[in-house]
Structure 1
């Protein structure tokens, strides 16, 4: 009998194999509630080459829409390090849609959120809140950092109960992109957050 981890890995592997020849499809706004409600969350999955490639694509599309202070060349340079970061982050959580396509992911290390990216069309859909709420309540996320030049992300984290406690002029690689370090200071509860947690399917 398969344990939960093996079941989750098998689900994801079958999904990737089923969709490896499919072209990504445009996400229409009217379908967002259905996509978010049907999204399956998988925790601590096997990090295959196929999965890493697909998550890197999600990262690229997300950054192009949200990190407007970065040039295409700069995004390309940073992207070189994304696969290694995805492989090395201690805890990786992904969301897949009904067609088994990765649409969002989150990485954590201890109490720190290291990464949270989703398909740009899904911004404002509730999927980011769903992932972060799980991270706070189940993985113990208490701290994160965000680019100061990404005000939408900063506003999202503030809405989720985080406050800035430190600012640096350079990012953690020494580049001139100021970072804001944020800490959870208010419990993120509420009916919508709890309902999101109830809908999660965790495979570990």
Structure 2
């Protein structure tokens, strides 16, 4: 299988929102349906336009995952669950390192053990913690940095 990484295109917006939704349902088991709907509305109605998005695509140029960057901060990284474990997330992180440098930061939900383990494997270390997420919701965040 050949994969690539391309810049965000408006035509992929709905597909990326769908990837976000499937990934969150699959990995954020601590969220209620109401919580997911709250964040879904944010993603659908603008969050993707507020960051620099890079899209992982398959051999048919169909999106399989994406990363959203704000400077050196990873604001979002989501991969379609049917593509989990195929290296797409790692390739997106490597792309971010290539274009932004090695001092990347990311916040991970404390209850999302899989995401924390993923970032740890890539060399990220915890540098802080917040009780609330960026929307003021009671989902603690772990602040991680990739230390070169």
Q: TM-score range by the shorter chain?
A: over 0.9
Max radius of gyration: which structure? 1
The aligned residue for residue 138 of structure 2 is: 176
Question: In the aligned structure 1, how far is the partner of 2:3 from the partner of 2:58?
Answer: 5
Q: CA deviation at 1:101?
A: 1.7
* Structure with greater strand share of residues: 2
Tell me how large the CA RMSD over aligned residues is.
1.3
* Number of residue pairs the alignment of both structures matches: 146
Describe the SS at the equivalent of 2:76.
Answer: strand
Structure showing greater relative contact order (alpha-carbon pairs closer than 8 Å, 6 or more residues apart):
1
Structure 1 runs of 4+ aligned residues shifted over 4 Å read none
1:41 equivalenced with 2:5 (yes/no)? yes
Equivalent of residue 65 in structure 1, options 26, 31, 41: 26
1:149 equivalenced with 2:106 (yes/no)? no
Q: CA deviation at 1:39?
A: 1.5
The aligned residue for residue 123 of structure 1 is: 84
Give the TM-score normalised by the residue count of structure 2. Answer: 0.92
The aligned residue for residue 95 of structure 2 is: 134
Cα deviation digits, residues 3-50 of structure 1 (max 9, x gap): xxxxxxxxxxxxxxxxxxxxxxxxxxxxxxx2xxx122102x33x2x3
Equivalent of residue 123 in structure 2, options 158, 161, 165: 161
**Tell me, which stretches of 5 or more residues in structure 1 are unaligned?**
1-33, 188-204
**Tell me, which stretches of 5 or more residues in structure 2 are unaligned?**
none
